[in-house]
Amino acid sequence: MNRPYLGEFEELVLLTVAMLNGQAYGVTILEEIEKQTGRTVSLSAIHATLQRLEEKGYLKSQMGGATAERGGRRKRFFNVTLGGTRALQEIHTTRNHLWNQIPKTGLA
């Protein structure tokens, strides 16, 4: 099995989708990433990353119902797949393994 490769922003988006637990769509993901990281993020970067993660099989999406507040337009909601969960778990394990190997004097 190939080891997952996620860029830092892809990892942030995937973690945020997991955290939002069924309520993840472009704007909620953007707002949560900005809130959690203090970074300014563009909606187009979020959408491009969601598409990449879906193509990699880490996310799946479905259309929600139309709402009056969006002028009848529907939202695309994202959820983490089993493959996405496994990728996040492996990355988490790898990062923890590396952190645990840093000697107490290793970080100034």
- The 10s digit of each residue's pLDDT in 40-99 is 999 999 999 999 999 999 999 999 876 666 566 788 999 999 999 999 999 999 999 999
pTM of the full predicted structure?
0.85
| Nearest-angstrom CA–CA distance, 80 and 89 | 12
pLDDT of residue 68: 64
Top-level class of domain 8-65+75-101: mainly alpha
**Would you kindly state where each structural domain of the chain is located, as residue ranges?**
8-65+75-101
| Confidence at residue 71, expressed as pLDDT on a 0 to 100 scale | 62
Q: What amino acid is encoded at 71 in this protein? A: G
Backbone angles phi, psi at 9, to 5 degrees: -70, -40
